[in-house]
Amino acid sequence: MEKQNKKKVLIKTEKLSKSFSVAGKQQHIIKNLDLEIYEGDFTVIMGPSGAGKSTLLYALSGMDKPSLGSINYCGQEITAMNDDALAVFRRSHCGFVFQQIYLVDSMSIMDNAVSTGMLTGQKKKALKQKALTLFERVGISSELAGKFPAQVSGGEAQRAAMVRALINDPEVVFADEPTGALNSAGVKAVLDVLTDINRGGQSIVMVTHDIKSARRADRIIYIQDGGIMGECILGRYQSGDKKRHEKIRAFLEDMGW
Amino acid sequence: MVKLIRSNLHKDRAVMIVFMLIIMIASMLMHTSLLINTYDEVYDSKAEKQDIPDAIEQVRTDDDISGIINGCDKISQYSVTDMILPAETVFTVNDSAKEITNDTALFYEYGTQGIAGEHSFVERDESVSGRKLYMNLGLARSNGINIGDRIHLKMDHYNGLEFTVAGIYEDLFNGVGMSYNSVMLDTQGFEQMKACAQKAADAGNTPQTQKLIYMRFVDGAAHKDGLKQLREAISAKGYYNYGYTMELARKAYVGIITLLVPFLSTFAVLMILICIIMIIFAISNNISRDIRNIGALRAVGHTAGQVRTSLTLEYLLIGAISTAAGTALSYVFFPMLEKAFLRGLTGIVCKTGFRPAATFGVIACILLAIVLTAFIASARIKKLHPATALRFGLQTNSFKRDHFPLADTKGGLNFLLAAKSAVQSIGQSISVFVVIVTVSFLTFFSLMLYYNTKIDSYKFQRLLQGDTADAYIEITGDEARRQEILKELRTYDGVSEAYSLCFQTATINGEDVDTYVSAEPQSIYCGVYEGKMCMQANETVIGGELAKRLGVGIGDEIKISNVGRQERYLITGFQQAVYGLGERVYLTDEGARRIGLEPSYSIIRVRMHEPSDEKVDKLLEKAKAYLGSECVSTDNYYRYQRSEENLPVFASGMINVVFILLSLVIVFLIIRLLLKTVFIKREKEFGIKKAMGFTSRQLRLQLSLSLLLPAISAALLGSVGGYFLVNPLFNAVFSSYGIKNSDLTVKPMMIAITALSVLALVFVLSFIMSRKMKKVAAYKLISE
C-alpha cells in the first residue's frame, strides 16, 4: 500500500454513490465508495455479477453521472461538468473498449477510428496515417480497415475498437469486459494490445470476470455490494509468472469469489 | 390477424399519430372545399325560396318610366322603387373614430321592394331606438356592423343622419362587394335623405336619385334578352341605366369564394400524396424491422396475402378514423369559417347541413388511395421466402459502399457524418425530399401571391379586372373640358398617364358584349396577352374566350353592332380578365362612334410612377383643388387595391394564411415523425458517439444537417418549380374565367427567399425537436 501511495493519483473518488430506480424502488449500486486510480497502472476491477463494476467504470469515465460524491480527474471535478463538457472530457482524456464492441455499424472501421480522432481537431492526413499505424499494431490490415463492422470477425472488430480507443492518445483506457465475447486467440490479442499500451505509459482500467485477463493487472480491486471489499497488488506483468496466477486465485478466494 | 394489427399499431404509434393528423387535415380541407363548392347551389336555393326577380335595372331619372317598361313585351311583372345612390357614403359606427367609406351603397325605403318581396332577415330587432336602418349582410359583416349599432351617415351635401341598425338581411342582387350594396331606411329617414339629394341636384351636382326596377320575364324569355329589351328602350330615351340578371348576380356572389376551392383541394391532394409517401416509407421500414416475425408467421402457415392484408388493414383502420374525424371537423370548421369570413365575402348565409355525397365521397377516395398504396407497398412480402426472412432477419444493415470516407473527403466532421447518414437513410431522404418540394412550392406560391397583391399588384389587378389605375376622378363637363383636365393632370408630379375608359354595351352575333371604349387607347393596359391594343377606328381587341367561341383569330374581321348599326372591325389582339370572363370587347372612341355608341368619359383614370397611398392622396387633393365643383368624387384606388376590402386580395390573404399555417404544420409533423424514427433506429449509434466524445450539440447538428441535405435540393426544386409553374397553374385554375396567359410577377429572388426560409425552418425545427438527445447519458443510450 505504501508503495502505491507514491504513485501519482489519476482519478480519485470520494463517497461515490450511484442509485437506480427500478420499478419505483431505489437500488443502491455503489455506496460511499472511496477509490484512487494511479497514473500508468493497469487496474482491474473484479467482483460478482451485479456488484456495480460496470457502473463504477462508467462513472469514473464520465459516461454516467453519480448520484452522490465526487470524482476528481487530475484535479478536475468531473461530477460538476455538464453533458457537453463531459463529452469533451471523454474525447480528450479517455478511450473506451466494450464487451459488445460498439462500433458504429454504418461507418467503416477506418471511419470509426478517424471520426473519434477528428473530434480533437487532428489533421485528416496525419490521422489516417496514425490510424493505419495503430491498425497495423493491433494486426488489422489496411484493406480490412475499409470494411464495415458487420463484415469482419468479432476479434477483428474488437481490435478495431481498440484503435478507436487509442486514436486520441488517451491518458486512460476504460475497458468493460473487452474479452467477454472473444475466442481464446482473440482474448490474447486484445490483452497483448492493452498490456502493450500500458507499457507505453497509458493507464488502463478494466472490468473483467476472467482470471486470465486479470493476470495482466498491476492491481486488482474487488467490489461487492457497491463497496470495495479488498485489493491485490501484483506489480508488473511478466509472461510465464505462475506465482502471479496463484496469488490472484488466493485473493479471489479470500474475497469469496 | 387482429393481434398482429394491434401489435403493429403499438409499435408504430409515433408514425400513426402523424399519419392520422395529416390525413385528418387533408380530409378536412378537401371536405371543406366541397362544402364551399356548394355556394352556387345555395344561392339558387335561396333565390327560389325568396322568389327573387329575374333581373334588376337602375335608371338615373326622376321621371315616370312605367310607360317604357310596359312597352317591353318580354317583361311579365315589375315594380319600381325610388332609390338614392350617393357617389360616396361615409359610415361611422357607434361614434368610432374610424370612418368606413363606401361608393357602392344604395338606399331605399324599407317596405318598397315591390316584387322583390321581404328580404330574408338574418337578424332583426325592431325594438331598437331611433331611426331604423336595415343593412345587407355582406356590407354589415365586412365592416363589423351589428344589430343595435348606431350609424352616422355622411355624404356629399348631407349634414349627417343618425340611424340604429334594426336588421341585417340577405339581398341576392345588391348585397356583395362586387355589386351594389343595398341599405334600407325607415320612411322618415329615407324622405330626409331624398330631400338632401334633391338639394344637391338643384345645386348642379350629378343627380343621386334613381329608379330601381325589379322585373320578371315571360315564360321562355331568356333573362338577358328581356333585360336587353328594357335597357335598349331606356337608353333610347336617353337615361343612364345599369342592370343585370340573376345569373350575373350569382356569379358576383359566388365567383370569388369558389376560387378558393381549387386551391384548398390542391393542397389537400398534396397532403394525401405526402401520406402516400409516408405509407410506402413506413411499410418498408416495418418489413425491414419485423422481417423475422414475418418469416415466423409465414413459417407457421400464414400466407403472404394475410400478412399484407394485416399491414393494409392497419392503415385502413387509421385512415378510416382520420377521414371520419377530418370530415366531422369540417362540419365544425366550416360554420366557423362561414360566420367569420365567408358571409362578408358572399353576403349570404350558408348552412350546408349534412352532405352525404361529399362526406362519403371524400372518405371513400382517401381510403381507396390508402388501401391501394399500402397493398402495393407491401408487395415485397410476397417474394419473401420464410427461410430467407428468418435467416436474414437480424441483418438490418446492408451498407455496401463507404460513402464520403472521412479521412479522404473534404469537409467538416459534422457535415460529412450528416452526408453519410443522408445517403445511407435513403427512405428518410426521399420522404424529406418529397415533403420539402411540396412545402417549397406552396411557400413560393404564397410569397408570389403576397408580392402580387400587396407589393406590386398591377399585374394581379389587371389579371382580375383588365385596365386599372391608381386614382379615379369623377368630373362634370364636356369633352373639351375633359381634354383640358387630362392635360392639366399630366403635368402633376409623378403622373405617368391620365385617360378615360368608358363602359358600353354592343352586340356581336345578336349577343350583348361588355364593350370598353377609350379616346386614349395608348394608355389602356387591359390584359392584351396576344397581339396589340387597337388604335384605329376599324380595330378591336376582344376577349380570348369570346374569340374562341366565335372561332376568330388575330387579323380576322368581326361585325360589331349597336341598335341596328353594324360595322366590321379588324381584331388586333386578344385580352383576358377574370371579371370579364374573357368576353370583353375594346374599341377606340372613334371606332365606338362608328356604330352609334356615345361614350361618356365622366371618370378620369390616373396612373402614377412609383405610387404610394400618400402620393395618390396628394394628387387627389391637388386635383380637387384644381377642379373645385367640377369634381364629383375621387377614389384612391391604389389604396383600395391593396386593402382587405378588395375581395380578391382578402381571399388571397386567406389562401396565404391557410398555406403557410399548413406548411408549418406539415413540416413540424414530418420532422417529428422522422426524428422519432431516427431515434428508434439509431439510438445505439448516438450512445456510442456520445461515449466517444461527441457532444449533444454535435449530434443534433448532424441530425439536422442530414435532413437539410436532401431538403436543399428539394427546396430549390420546389421553389424553381414554383417560379416556372405558378403562372401556368393560374392559367389552369382561371381558364374558365378567360385567363390564357397569366403574367404575375415572379422574381428569381423569390426562389432564394423561399428556399432559404424553408431550409431555415427545417433546420431550426429539427434542431429544436432533437433536444431529447441532450437529456440522455451516453451510458444509458448504449445500455438501452
Residue A2 has pLDDT above 50, yes or no: no
Q: Which three cell numbers stand for residue B401?
A: 459502399
The number of C-beta contacts closer than 8 angstroms across A and B is 104
Helix, strand or coil, per DSSP, at residue A212 = helix
> Is B772 near chain A, with CB under 8 Å?
no
- Closest chain A CA to residue B686: A104
Q: Å from A230 to nearest chain B CA?
A: 26
Mean pLDDT confidence for B92-106: 80
Give B777's contacts in chain A (Cβ within 8 Å): 63-65, 83
pLDDT, average across residues B321-330: 94
Q: Which of A58, A127, A150 sits opposite B407 (nearest CB)?
A: A127
CA B511, B514, B519, B523 torsion-angle sign: negative
Interface of A with B in 162-181 (CB under 8 A): 164, 168
Strand ranges across the sheet with B631-636: B495-499, B603-608, B471-475, B631-636
Give the pairing type, strands B161-170 and B132-136.
Answer: parallel
Note whether A118 contacts B408, CB cutoff 8 Å. no
Query: Is pLDDT at B397 greater than 70 in this prediction?
Result: no
Residue A33 belongs to a domain = no
How large is the angle between the packed helices A184-199 and A154-166, nearest 10 degrees? 10
Partner B contacted by A228 (CB < 8 A): no
Residue B399 to residue A150, Cβ atoms within 8 A: yes
Looking at residue A3, what is its pLDDT? 46
Measure in Å the smallest separation between the Cα of B690 and chain A Cα atoms. 7
Q: Which chain B residues are closer than 8 Å to A58 by Cβ?
A: 779
Q: Which of B200, B184, B214 is nearest to B106 (CA)?
A: B184
Cell of A32: 460511499
Q: Report the pLDDT averaged over residues B631-637.
A: 81
User: Distance (Å, rounded) from C-alpha A112 to C-alpha A92?
Assistant: 16
CA distance A163 to B368: 55
pLDDT digits (tens, 9 = 90+) for B588-602: 988 888 888 888 787
b/e map B316-337, b = 16+ CB within 10 Å: bebbbebbebbbebbbebbeeb
Rounded CA separation B38/B401 (Å): 57
The answer to whether residue B718 scores a pLDDT higher than 90 is yes
**Does residue B397 sit at the A interface (CB-CB below 8 Å)?**
yes
pLDDT at B395: 47
Q: How confident is the model at residue B6 (pLDDT cuts 50, 70, 90)?
A: low
Q: What's at B743, amino acid-wise?
A: D
- Candidates B401, B404, B420, B688, partner chain A, best to mutate (most A CBs within 10 A): B688
pLDDT, mean of residues B261-286: 79
Question: For residue A92, is it within any domain?
Answer: yes
The answer to whether the beta carbons of residues B401 and B723 sit under 8 Å apart is no
Mean local confidence (pLDDT), B702-717: 92
**Calpha distance B708→B716 (Å, rounded):** 12
Alpha-helical runs (H) found in B51-151 = 66-70, 137-142
List, for residues B478-509, the tens digit of each pLDDT value. 778 888 888 888 888 888 888 988 887 788 87
User: What SS3 state is found at A234?
Assistant: coil
A98 CB neighbours in chain B (<8 A) are: 782
Amino acid sitting at position B531: G
**The pLDDT of residue B180 is above 70:** yes
Return the top range by mean pLDDT from B86-100, B318-332, B734-748, B760-774: B318-332
Average pLDDT over residues A148-174: 91
Looking at residue B750, its pLDDT comes to: 92
Ranking B134-143, B190-199, B774-783 by mean pLDDT, the lowest is B774-783
Give the closest residue to A44 by CA, choosing from A145, A178, A189, A147. Answer: A178
The reply to whether residue B405 touches residue A111, judged by beta carbons under 8 angstroms, is yes
Residue A83 with chain B: CB contacts under 8 Å: 695-696, 774, 777
Tell me, yes or no, whether A68 lies in a domain: no
Which residues in chain B are closer than 8 Å to A63, comparing Cβ atoms? 691, 777-779
Q: Cβ of A106 and B421 within 8 Å?
A: yes
The arrangement of secondary structure in B466-641, i.e. its CATH architecture, is Beta Barrel (2.40)
pLDDT, one tens digit per residue, over A201-223 is: 999 999 998 888 999 999 999 99
Residue B339 per-residue DSSP state: I
Confidence of residue B784 (pLDDT cuts 50, 70, 90): very low
Q: Which amino acid belongs to residue B661? A: L
Name the residue ranges covered by the structural domains of chain B.
Answer: 1-54+254-396, 61-239, 466-641
Whether residue B401 has pLDDT greater than 60: yes
Which chain A residue lies closest to B422 (C-alpha atoms)? A106
Put simply, whether B690 touches A (Cβ < 8 Å) is yes
Which residues in chain A touch residue B695, judged by CB atoms under 8 angstroms apart? Answer: 83-84, 87-88
3-state secondary structure of B119: coil
User: Looking at residue B116, what is its pLDDT?
Assistant: 77
Q: Are B572 and B539 in contact (CB under 8 A)?
A: yes
B48 touches chain A (CB under 8 A): no
Tell me whether A27 touches chain B (CB under 8 Å).
Answer: no
Task: Give which of B474, B486, B468 is closest to B156, Cα–Cα.
Answer: B474
The total domain count for chain A is 1
Whether residue A256 is predicted with pLDDT greater than 90 in this model: the reply is: no
pLDDT in tens, B43-70: 898 888 888 899 999 888 888 889 999 9
Q: How far apart are CA B146 and CA B339, in angstroms?
A: 13
Tell me, what's the ipTM?
0.88
Instruction: Using CA coordinates, name the residue in chain B closest to A164.
Output: B692
Note whether A116 contacts B692, CB cutoff 8 Å.
Answer: yes
CA distance A221 to A51: 12
Side chain identity at B45, as an amino acid letter? Answer: S
Residue of chain A nearest B697, judged by CA positions: A84
Could you tell me which chain B residue has the CA closest to the CA of A126? B407
Contact A104 B685 (CB under 8 A): yes
Statement: residue B581 has pLDDT above 60:
yes
Backbone phi, psi, residue B264, to 5°: -65, -40
Probe site for chain B from A60, A65, A115, A148 (most B CB atoms < 10 A): A115
Q: How much of chain A, in percent, has pLDDT values that exceed 70?
A: 98
Q: In A, which residues are within 8 Å of B418 by CB distance?
A: none
Q: What is the pLDDT of residue B719?
A: 94
Does B660 lie at the interface with A, CB-CB under 8 angstroms? no
Q: Would you say residue A72 lies in a domain?
A: no
Which of B172, B179, B209, B199 lies closest to B83 in space, CA to CA? B209
Percent of chain B with pLDDT over 90: 19
- In chain B, what residues touch A120 (CB-CB under 8 Å)? 693
**B288 to chain A nearest CA, in Å?**
16
Q: Which residue of B has its CA nearest to A96?
A: B692
In chain B, residues with a C-beta closer than 8 Å to the C-beta of A104 are 685, 688-689
Q: Is the pLDDT assigned to residue B570 strictly greater than 80? A: yes
**Can you give the length of chain B in residues?**
784
Per-chain mean pLDDT for chain A: 89
Is the pLDDT score of A146 beyond 70? Answer: yes
| Domain that residue A200 falls in | 41-60+87-254
- Return the pLDDT at B467: 83
Here the CATH number for the domain that contains residue A242 is: 3.40.50.300
Q: What is the largest CA-CA distance in chain B?
A: 102
Contact B407 A90 (CB under 8 A): no
Q: Which helix (H) or strand (E) holds B687?
A: helix B647-692
Can you tell me the distance from the alpha carbon of B275 to that of A41, in angstroms, rounded to the nearest whole number? 59
Quote the DSSP letter at residue A8.
P
Q: Which of B397, B402, B777 sits opposite A146 (nearest CB)?
A: B402
**Strand B471-475 to strand B539-543: parallel, antiparallel, or no bridges (unpaired)?**
unpaired
Range of A16-30, B63-77, B94-108 with top mean pLDDT: B63-77
SS (H, E, C) B470-497: CEEEEECCCHHHHHHHHHHHHCCCCEEE
Q: What is the mean pLDDT of residues B280-285?
A: 77
Res A168 pLDDT > 80: yes
Query: Looking up cell 383636365, which residue turns up?
Result: B485
pLDDT band for position A1 (cuts 50, 70, 90): very low
Name the residue with higher pLDDT: B143 or B31. Answer: B31
CB contact under 8 A, B693 and A127: no
Contact across the interface for B777 and A63, Cβ inside 8 Å: yes
Q: Would you call A19 exposed, middle or buried from its count of C-beta atoms within 10 A (0-12, 13-18, 19+)?
A: middle
Does the beta carbon of A88 lie under 8 angstroms from any beta carbon of chain B?
yes
Distance (Å) from the C-alpha of residue A102 to the closest C-alpha of chain B?
Answer: 6
Kindly state whether A74 is in contact with chain B, defined as any CB-CB distance less than 8 angstroms: no
- Say what the pLDDT of residue B776 is: 65
pLDDT (mean) for A232-257: 88
pLDDT number for residue B396: 45
- DSSP characters for B423-471? HH-HHHHHHHHHHHHHHHHHHHHHHHHHIIIIIS-HHHHHHHHSS--SE
Q: Tell me if B685 and A84 make a contact (CB, 8 A cut-off).
A: no
